[in-house]
Chains A and B, each alone.
Chain A
Amino acid sequence: MNDVVINNHSDLKGKSVTIFTLFTTTGTLLCCALPIIFVTLGMGATVVAMTSTFPFLVTLTKYKIWVFLFSGLMLAVSGWLMFRPGRSCPTDKALGEACSSAHKWNKRIYWTSVVIWATGFTAAYLLLPIRIWLDM
């Protein structure tokens, strides 16, 4: 019984961390990838409207290094919680299925977060050097 309670608590913690990770990585997309995509597509006015309506975006871009570090750290913690050694589901059929299903969704959310973070990182730190290199 105690094992079941511990496992459920651990899954809940893992799920919360994964969802929080998704939330933090979305910040990297908002601050860095979206404006560049819009500007590249000739939709600079949309970026102006976005930053005027949501001034926190300007703050996010100013402190983007911290946004990336924090969300990267959250990805690492979330990844460790999900893929840590010795992680197992309860032997009880119903609980085991619920645990597997939760783990499956956790993995989906986690990999979505990884893709979002990588997109944001590429836009913020790699796109400009690549562009300069291509312009040379």
Chain B
Amino acid sequence: MKFLILLFTLFASVSVWADGKLYTIRTNSFDCEYCIYDLEKKITKMKGVKEFDSDVDGLLFIKADDTFKLDEAYVKKLLIDNGFDYKGMTEKKE
């Protein structure tokens, strides 16, 4: 029974990220909630962006539409403007 619940949870969580693109951006793990809030506002305003998330290890996640293309130079500028160091970005199709 536990296994079935686990399987269902896994399936359900995968389905949340089922379509579109997932961008993972690495920054320094600078913990500034105020700066993140500002960054989140700017990123979620971009057309095609569905979700934005961040973790304490300096990773930022952007879930976007298939048609969305994140410009690396723009991301770098945005991060630096908000006090974060840019350390790279990966794009994954979901």
Contacts and interface: CB of A to CB of B under 8 A. Distances in A.
Does B bind A? yes
A116 B84 CA distance: 24
Interface of B is mostly: loop
Given A44-B82, A51-B28, A127-B34, 4 more contacts: A35-B32, A47-B32, A57-B30, A131-B34
Interface string B19-51: 000000000111111110110000000000000
Given A39-B38, A132-B37, A48 B31 contact: no
A123 B32 CA distance: 10
Interface of A: 32, 35-36, 38-39, 42, 44-45, 47-48, 51-52, 57-58, 61-62, 64, 123, 127-128, 131-132
Contact residues on B (Cβ < 8 Å of other chain), bracket: 10 to 19
A53 to B, nearest CB: 11
Interface of A is mostly: helix
Contacts of B83: 35, 38-39, 44, 47-48, 51
Interface of B: 28-35, 37-38, 56, 80-85
Contacts of A52: 28, 85
A39 B32 contact: yes
